[in-house]
Amino acid sequence: MLRVPHVTNYLSEHFADDAFGTLAGYERYGGYKAARQAITGMAPSEVVALVKESGLQGRGGAGFLAGLKWSFMPAETDKPKYLVCNADESEPGSFKDRILLERAPHLLLEGILIGAWATGASKTFLYIRGEYAFPAAQLERAIAEAYDKGYLGKRVMRSGFSHDVVLHRGAGAYICGEETGLLESLEGKKGQPRKKPPFPAQYGAFGMPSTVNNVETFCHVPHIVAKGSDWFRAFGTEKSPGTTIFGVSGHAVRLGLYELPLGTPLEEIVYRHAGGVPEGRRVKGVIPGGVSMPILPADQLDVPMANEFLRERKTMLGTGGIMVMDDTTCMVRAACVITYFFRDESCGQCTQCREGTGWLNKIVNRIERGAGVPEDLDVLIDVAGKMEGQTICAFADAAAWPVQGLLRHFRADFEQHVHERKCPFPESFQL
Ligand SMILES: Cc1cc2nc3c(=O)[nH]c(=O)nc-3n(C[C@H](O)[C@H](O)[C@H](O)COP(=O)(O)O)c2cc1C
Ligand code: SF4
């Protein structure tokens, strides 16, 4: 059920003001009041309960409930506990965390501080993708400002609670966004995901109990603490509350970021907000949530952008990175680009992923060259099916889903290549 038709952009409300990125500017808009309220007026368990009641889903891709994840952190332990903020944002089509890091670094730090109080974490490792040089500089400055003001470090806000934030820059590998690949990389090892269990809440960064959350997930938290869970639940859908920042890329007139309630119909984002595709063309397909999410054809854009609805169409919200493809697009070429990415980024630990990503790429390239045979289509489906649910991490699934989606809705494009022994879409983007 969709509940709120109007739009309120509480995350991005002050983005137009450069000062919002500084401590003084952030405080002018009421910044750090929610953290003070939590640390001085609420028990950690109350904060966890509030975030649980709010129904906040993680915004890093899987949509796991943030409050529930926080409750997994052991209450009684003599080990230090850590938070990890995932700012790796390497999913093609996803660029929402970047704007939060650039325009609202103190909102993120405040969310982290509240999360640290709730989970009893003494330190946060903020892992940011290597290519994000300006966002990293913004964070570095904001962290220094927060230390100077006593919002980080020993006895935060003169309370008995201490918290440190350590900024760690990655070196540009997609797999370091997967939470346990990230932890390995943070520890100075190869960014190869860990077998689970044990989950990070038991054995996380440097072997200590840890919770990993996405940048945007943390950014919702100060608003929830300040205004309450009922306020938050008034946005979005019953199962997917709040807003999110959708990114629109590809063949749309107004490319960019749009903060909208979860459950906003995809067609409203593509046509009303992003202005549709350039004149004279039509939409052919839209990837709804970053390149790993299965594509939807033009006649399914009525879907509300929330997982409970997208799952019915065999896709997911992912990171909300919407990629629009117009009617000049060759879906086999799209498959070539996507499978090349996954072939290149597989960490290689699991046979299904290491070999599967290579075979998917090899076969779609062959079809695009006009050298495919009719059986290739079933082989693609067979290989993709054997990659799903079999591996150490969800990367292999993420590599299989786009191919399955393209074949589900655009099988005719693949068949035409095979029958005509060439690419029938000369106007499509070049490989
Ligand atoms: C291959 C792969 C890449 C991922 N990349 C990211 C990423 O760049 N940023 C992110 O926040 N989560 C990413 N995730 C999801 C994380 O593993 C983890 O679920 C997330 O950081 C948890 O945060 P959340 O619960 O707040 O969403 C990735 C997962 C996989 C399987
Ligand atoms: S699924 Fe792929 S990326 Fe994930 S651990 Fe296995 S080989 Fe590495």
Query: Domain containing 336 — which CATH number?
Result: 1.20.1440.230
Q: Of 233, 259, 275, which residue is a domain's last?
A: 233
Q: What is the CA(194)–ligand 2 centre distance, in A? A: 9
Which of 176, 192, 357, 388 to probe ligand 2 with, by most ligand atoms within 8 A of CB?
192
Q: How many helices (H) and strands (E) does the chain have?
A: 16, 9
Tell whether 322 and 390 lie within a shared domain.
no
Over the stretch 373-406, which tens digit does the pLDDT of each residue have? Answer: 999 999 999 999 999 999 999 999 999 999 999 9
Q: Enumerate residues 6+ apart whose C-beta is below 8 A from 165.
A: 109, 112, 123, 124, 126, 143, 146, 152
d(CA 223, CA 386): 43
Amino acid (1-letter code) at residue 385: G
Tell whether 345 and 318 lie within a shared domain.
no
Helix (H) or strand (E) holding 148: helix 133-148
Q: Max alpha carbon distance in the chain (Å)?
A: 73
CATH number at residue 292: 3.10.20.600
Quick check: is 12 in a domain? no
Q: Decide: helix, strand or coil at residue 160.
A: coil
Half-sphere exposure of 221 (CA within 13 A, CB side): 35
Instruction: Work out the burial of residue 149: count CB atoms within 10 Å of its CB; fewer than 13 is exposed, 13-18 middle, 19 or more buried.
Output: middle
Tell whether 150 and 229 lie within a shared domain.
yes
Whether 221 lines ligand 2, by a CB cut-off of 6 Å, is no
Tell whether 58 and 128 lie within a shared domain.
yes
Task: State which residues form the domain around 160.
Answer: 18-233
Q: Which two tokens stand for residue 203?
A: 């054995």
Quick check: is 428 in a domain? no
Residue 2 confidence (pLDDT): 35
Q: Which DSSP category does 64 fall into?
A: -
Peptide bond connecting 197 to the previous residue in cis, omega within 30 degrees of 0: yes
Tell whether 279 and 296 lie within a shared domain.
yes
Rounded to an integer, the average pLDDT of 70-97 is: 97
Whether 347 lines ligand 2, by a CB cut-off of 6 Å, is yes
Q: Of 262, 292, 326, which residue is a domain's last?
A: 326
Tell whether 295 and 405 lie within a shared domain.
no
Tell whether 214 and 263 lie within a shared domain.
no
Quick check: is 1 in a domain? no
Asked if residue 312 has pLDDT above 70, the reply is: yes
Query: Whose C-alpha lies nearest to ligand 1, atom 7?
Result: 177
Over the stretch 155-211, which tens digit does the pLDDT of each residue have? Answer: 999 999 999 999 999 998 999 999 999 999 999 999 999 999 999 999 999 999 999
Quick check: is 406 in a domain? yes
Which of 88, 90, 91, 175 to probe ligand 2 with, by most ligand atoms within 8 A of CB?
175
Quick check: is 398 in a domain? yes
Ligand nearest to the CA of 387: 2
Over the stretch 343-355, which tens digit does the pLDDT of each residue have? Answer: 999 999 999 999 9
Quick check: is 101 in a domain? yes
Whether 214 lines ligand 1, by a CB cut-off of 6 Å, is yes
Tell whether 84 and 194 lie within a shared domain.
yes
Residue 7 confidence (pLDDT): 52
Whether 389 lines ligand 2, by a CB cut-off of 6 Å, is no
Tell whether 262 and 314 lie within a shared domain.
yes
Instruction: Please state at what angle helix 375-387 crosses helix 395-420, rounded to 10 degrees.
Output: 180
Over the stretch 174-189, which tens digit does the pLDDT of each residue have? Answer: 999 999 999 999 999 9
Q: Enumerate residues 6+ apart whose C-beta is below 8 A from 319.
A: 59, 60, 61, 89, 91, 93, 94, 96, 247, 289, 290
Triad 273, 224, 19: Cα angle to 5°: 65
d(CA 238, CA 142): 35
Ligand nearest to the CA of 64: 1
Quick check: is 6 in a domain? no
**What ligand 1 atom has the least distance to the C-alpha of 129?**
8
Asked if residue 1 has pLDDT above 70, the reply is: no
Ligand nearest to the CA of 398: 1
Tell whether 191 and 291 lie within a shared domain.
no
Whether 346 lines ligand 2, by a CB cut-off of 6 Å, is yes
Tokens 């969800």: give the residue.
394
Tell whether 64 and 103 lie within a shared domain.
yes
Amino acid (1-letter code) at residue 247: G
Over the stretch 38-56, which tens digit does the pLDDT of each residue have? Answer: 999 999 999 999 999 999 9
Residue 227 confidence (pLDDT): 97
Rounded to an integer, the average pLDDT of 56-75 is: 97
d(CA 401, CA 388): 8
Ligand nearest to the CA of 196: 2
Q: Of 233, 253, 275, which residue is a domain's last?
A: 233
Tell whether 73 and 222 lie within a shared domain.
yes
Q: DSSP alpha helices (H): ranges in 165-269?
A: 179-186, 215-227, 229-233, 266-267
Rounded to an integer, the average pLDDT of 113-141 is: 98
Residue 25 confidence (pLDDT): 98
Quick check: is 360 in a domain? yes
Q: How far apart are the first and last CA of the chain?
A: 42
Total domain count, the chain: 3
Among the listed residues 109, 93, 124, the one whose alpha carbon sits nearest the alpha carbon of residue 35: 109
Whether 250 lines ligand 1, by a CB cut-off of 6 Å, is no
Q: Enumerate residues 6+ apart whose C-beta is below 8 A from 204.
A: 82, 84, 183, 210, 211, 212
CATH number at residue 108: 3.40.50.11540
